Structure 1
């Protein structure tokens, strides 16, 4: 008589396959890391664009009209907000979908970076999109003579869609959280 283990049952074989599949699925989250790295590179592109816009603003400041200066500053704000949007996606996405970030070694680490859940990420993204859209509408109004009425109406309509979508999302998140806590 030999001490050989009992042959594996179909149930234990199924469990091994299931665990292997779950391991592959769980580790597939690392496939997102290159996307976030690519977004970091896009920040360098935005920085380049910001520096070019800033240099143009400075070089033309003495001859520019006040409205041109304001439009230039609004363009800088627009690029800056877009950069903020990219950072929010990079940190929140990495933290929520790839791996936890340990801010322990970084005393100046912004608190929000490790505390934005998916609902918070949606809110921050939509708020940034609304701000960027508002700047586009403001730039159009500052330069209203060069816009035809149809294009201006589209800009305003799209901006209103973003604002209303953000409000609906905020309300639905608030109602969802109050339901989770036993509220109405």
Structure 2
């Protein structure tokens, strides 16, 4: 009975596979959003001011970072929790593939969130004249919370790895 239960529990991890595949659909949505923004930028660049172009460029960078984060979570999560990706010999392979454990993945996700939050905060600061000071303080506080959380998770991961060696 125990063996059947353990095999069932182990097999249930495959329920995550469609979720990781669904993240691929998120990439499609990000691709559509990215090219809509590029099209808008190119067709309206003459009538836009410098700050508007910069804000649009920051939005494109933001979408790119989110896309990279999705890929990282999709591949690393699949490899850590479902199954190894069998990449044929001779095919191009991402250098970090197979090397990122769940602790490293958490640190990379946290760092990516801080980068995304930084870009969002920069976009807000570029329009700071139109935003209430109280809201600005909250944006900064939320960003600092992300930074401190990422630093804390990184430090805990460092301590854990140091204790193991």
TM bracket (short chain): over 0.9
Deviations 1:52-100 (A, max 9, x none): 1111111111111111111000000011111111111100110000001
CA-based RMSD: 1.0
Mapping for residues 24-39 of structure 1, pairs under 5 Å:
24-39=8-23
**Which secondary structure state, in structure 2, belongs to the residue aligned with residue 114 of structure 1?**
coil
Residue ranges of structure 1 left out of the alignment (5+ in a row):
1-16
Name the TM-score, length of structure 1 as normaliser. Answer: 0.87
Name the TM-score, length of structure 2 as normaliser. Answer: 0.96
Deviations 1:150-176 (A, max 9, x none): 221111101000001111111111111
* Bigger Rg, structure 1 or 2: 1
Which one scores higher on RCO, CA 8 angstroms, separation ≥ 6? 2
- Name the count of aligned residue pairs: 165
Mapping for residues 1-184 of structure 1, pairs under 5 Å:
17-105=1-89, 107-181=91-165
**Which secondary structure state, in structure 2, belongs to the residue aligned with residue 81 of structure 1?**
helix
What is the alpha-carbon distance in structure 2 between the residues aligned to residue 159 and residue 168 of structure 1?
Answer: 14
Deviations 1:121-170 (A, max 9, x none): 00110011000000011001111122111221111101000001111111
